[in-house]
Structure 1
């Protein structure tokens, strides 16, 4: 009885370490970040177009899924300008519009799900003919997540990781290294705990996904919302994970009972199920949105497998084998486990480094982003653990046959404590946008079109210049009356000059597209504040001349 009490205390110590790691999740996890960015739209955000379009398109940095009822276009009078359901093709969302839209400013609001299952929300505006007051839509500008939902998501992910640790490594040890004379009752309980944690975290993830994507509270979830989640890619992957866990539970019973009823086929099927289960984690995370998604999914699954084998094996070693096995058994088990651990650590480091390079992409992203700093923290902790593991390997070679290898138990406990914190950092990482996403947003979302409206007593002239950079530029000119009606122009003239660099006025060839719309192209050779002059003649005796300055980068 005394031995069993001590063993239970050791098991409790291991679980306490995992709980400490969970606290790391709570302290390190901030607000969930959207992991896709709106990179362009048609019409462009803030632009004024001459005629009402028949659709609006939104293009994101990665593929997205629609959320029912979460995309709308509001007309200047606040009425709905969209009609029918929006459609999505990869990263492009198309919103059909009613015909004959009136003049003024339109508001487009959207909330979609990115490829890595995070919600993305925002607004853009465009104007037809001329700008007006922007219609309002409550709560459409930000990705709002209920605080309780936001806190529970990383906790659920951590519990799933902990379940993998208590399932994968212990099953391998029990199947291949466990001495026949020892009881399997307590290791079996540990494995059932792992199964319960994985299954419970999966059910929790399915429930949380509804309020997370919709921006509602934890208990404001309807049956239809859950049905939508189950019908999504995320829901399908979670259901596969649940099915795999249930099937694994049936196949594990003979192994856990120690009846000898398990067959090689059962063990092979368990291996296949294990691979399938591990693949479900990267299929609902950052790897699916990676520039090399296939490589990232494989690397992430390898990373999880190595972590689960190593840390799960340490749990078995600390809680059961070191206190229960005799010197002869330990002398046979420890060298084999040492080789397993060495291989797992190698795979862990390789997969982690390559995946970090893909996600971080630049040194600046590594040091100047939350994601990069967490990666550095994880690397530092991993380096400490690897050092401890190397010392452990040395002890295995020198003292494997000792009756009471207390030094080795202390080293293993240190490994467990640090890796529990590493698990917490990992759970926090999946909630933070990687630098590659932020870089994509910065480099592609900036609308470089210069749009100006120039007025006098008889005319309002809208000028669009794109991309306002050195090299070839396109120009659009629109003429309106002071009350924003199209104004026919008989003749257009335009010039561009850069006096600060001694560049005299350059004529800009213009082509009339409609009575009030002209286009032109000009190559601007240098950066600086260019002066543009426009003349629009509306009759034989009436004309207006405008001048504006625009920065060319």
Structure 2
């Protein structure tokens, strides 16, 4: 149905085709260089040392934050405030994967300290919060006037609007390209759908640039126009920035092939290259969001791209069908187009359902989180709206089957417009959903919550040992050890050894693997399978001949 006579088909110029091919190769290379995401998404603070709300006998030499995944630094956004309101942190914090270590004044005053933080998680969302700990005894918590971890609501809305624009522009671009390339009758003018396609390309470009701009204050916590050179460089150098730059390059390369294809003059090679460019561009959306930092990044990135591409094919095709084909095509043309399009739409919807189901299972994690978390409730709303769209689409399919008995396509046009209206709401919910912490990570942040960890100071003739076991519950626990000399100065340690046993259950001593973070600080992870009074034995060697062992009984719930 599409096309013109061979004599009237000037092909895309060799230069344009070459530039498009080069753009594809560069984009694919850049996508291969994007590092694989870690095994979580939307980092949460899982433990801290000292623990939140805990009371320690002496001022620590450092504060350690442990996140559920690797995090990046936001300049001057990890701060420790002393009881008198002054800065207790010393120098820049160090970042090592999910561990953030902040040096503090070991001679700090007694009282309550405030720890505030703002970091960037692997899925490029900022994570902020605050908690307190006390030295000696609690006091009135200080206020950090120089650091506000709250997000600017205008920036939050702008981020979602930018994401929505890219979705809307994508379907406005894909729909006309698909319909003009496959379904368009020769006798009808291509001007209207071509203008929609160019507008879609412009909207995607606008949304992508807006996304890069808003990511700067979204990360740093500033206002919409608080965008400086350093912040912009940080964003452009991140995975988020790389994915957006790749998308801009692919869109620019695609522009060379769009004009001949939209006018019906593109050849087979042009269509193949344009299809490859478009397929590669789809992956830039999941690579800049939750999918790239899920427990199974290759799977979630792929299904997210399939989900997005199916949406663009289905809804973009509906736009062209409702606005241009139904009002202009005659009965014979519609009788040929609609059955074929109906099968295409059914395949796109099936791919949407399958990809959405896989993503939902991964991001929700447990059935109860569908109703207990914001992410889960948004996902339920999206499912309900999507089922409504499916119902309207089923009605439209029945109209297609009885097409020959219909005098005019007016009932079908009404059904299509209703389908598109509900789908527009679905896109809005999706734009909010991708900016919301996944349900499987919600509710696990310890910042500001009441501490349930075990903290004690054990003494020996040659050292005192500050011990923290967090959360002192069945399952995975983190252990932090701090050694101090008898005069309360940091004590360098040559060798650490820790064993843990549960005599009441017949569990023999188990070695706890430790990692030395500083001369006097070590940490480790241990899984405690049962409740009870666990006996920890700590052996600390401070020189070739000086060594002592201390024990602690840790009640585990």
TM-score (norm 2): 0.71
**Could you say which residue in structure 1 is the equivalent of 2:32?**
none
Q: Is the alpha carbon distance of 1:475 and 1:327 closer, same or farther for their aligned partners in structure 2, counting shifts above 3 Å?
A: closer
CA distance in 2, matches of 1:478, 1:89: 22
Distance 1:101 1:240, change over 3 A: farther
1:240 aligns with 2:242: no
The separation in 2 between residues aligned to 1:37 and 1:524, in whole angstroms, is 23
Alignment partners' CA distance in 1, 2:72 and 2:529? 41
In structure 1, C-alpha distance between the alignment counterparts of 2:159 and 2:400, rounded to whole Å: 39
For residues 460-484 of structure 1, the C-alpha deviation after alignment (integer angstroms, 9 at most, x for no partner) is: x999777655899999999999xx9
Return the alpha-carbon distance in structure 1 between the equivalents of residues 358 and 328 of structure 2.
39
| Pair 211,400 (structure 1): closer, same or farther in 2 beyond 3 Å | farther
For the residues of structure 1 that align with 2:469 and 2:418, how far apart are their CA atoms?
A: 63
Contact in 2 for aligned 1:43/1:49 (Cα 8 Å): no
Give 1:220 shift.
2.5
Tell me how far apart the structure 2 counterparts of residues 284 and 301 of structure 1 sit (CA, whole Å): 12
Map of 1:384 onto structure 2: 388
Which protein shows a greater Rg? 1
Unaligned runs of 5+ in 2: 1-40, 458-464, 490-503, 505-527, 535-553
**Pairing partner for 1:374 from 374, 378, 391:** 378
**Does the C-alpha gap of structure 1 residues 247 and 123 become closer, same or farther in structure 2, counting only changes over 3 Å?**
same
2: distance between equivalents of 1:524 and 1:360? 25
Say yes or no: does 1:82 pair with 2:86. Answer: no
Q: Where does residue 48 of structure 1 map in the other structure?
A: 56
Does 1:37 find its partner at 2:44?
A: yes
Aligned residues of 2:129 and 2:448 also touching (Cα < 8 A) = no
Q: 2:155–2:214: 8 Å Cα contact kept in structure 1?
A: yes
2 CA distance for matches of 1:477 and 1:137?
27
CA–CA distance in structure 2, aligned partners of residues 469 and 41 of structure 1: 15
Residues 1:478 and 1:62: Cα distance change in structure 2 (over 3 Å): closer
Gaps of 5+ in 1: 1-33, 454-460, 487-502, 504-522, 531-549
Counterpart for residue 307 of structure 1: 311
- Partner residue, 1:61: 68
Describe the SS at the equivalent of 2:227: coil
Alpha-carbon distance in 2 for matches of 1:82, 1:35: 28
Q: Take 1:472 and 1:277, find their aligned partners in 2: how far apart are those partners?
A: 40
Distance 1:36 1:552, change over 3 A: closer
**Cα distance, 1:69 vs structure 2:** 2.6
Whole-angstrom CA distance in 2 between matches of 1:413 and 1:472: 53
User: How far 1:70 moved relative to its partner?
Assistant: 2.1
**What is the aligned partner in structure 1 of residue 413 from structure 2?**
409
Q: Encode CA deviations 1:68-94: one digit per residue, 9 max, x unaligned.
A: 2322345566245322x4343332334
Note if contact 1:283-1:297 (Cα within 8 Å) is conserved in structure 2: yes
Paired with 1:464 and 1:201, the residues of 2 have a C-alpha distance of 47
Q: In structure 2, what is the Cα distance between the partners aligned to 1:182 and 1:81? A: 70
Structure 2 counterpart of 1:92, from 75, 92, 99: 99
User: Take 1:353 and 1:56, find their aligned partners in 2: how far apart are those partners?
Assistant: 41
Q: What is the distance in 2 between the residues matched to 1:268 and 1:295? A: 25
Question: How big is the shift at 1:442?
Answer: 6.6
Aligned match of 2:237 in 217, 222, 231?
231
Q: 1:330 aligns with which of 316, 322, 334?
A: 334
1:213-265 CA distances to partner (integer Å, 9 max, x unpaired)? 1111112222332222222221111111111112212210111233x1x1222
Per the alignment, in what secondary structure is the counterpart of residue 111 of structure 1? strand
Matches within 5 A, 1:437-456: 437-441=441-445, 447-451=451-455
Distance change (3 Å), C-alpha of 1:100 and 1:429: closer
Shift of 1:188: 0.7
The alignment yields a C-alpha RMSD, in angstroms, of 3.9
User: In the alignment, what sits opposite 1:215?
Assistant: 221
1:274 Cα deviation (Å)?
A: 1.2
Q: 1:205: which partner in 2? A: 211
Give the structure 2 partner of residue 183 of structure 1: 189
1:6-45 correspondence to structure 2 within 5 Å: 35-45=42-52
TM-score by length of 1: 0.72
Task: Measure the CA separation in 1 of the matches of 2:283 and 2:482.
Answer: 54
Aligned match of 2:435: 431
Corresponding position: 1:137 with 2:144: yes
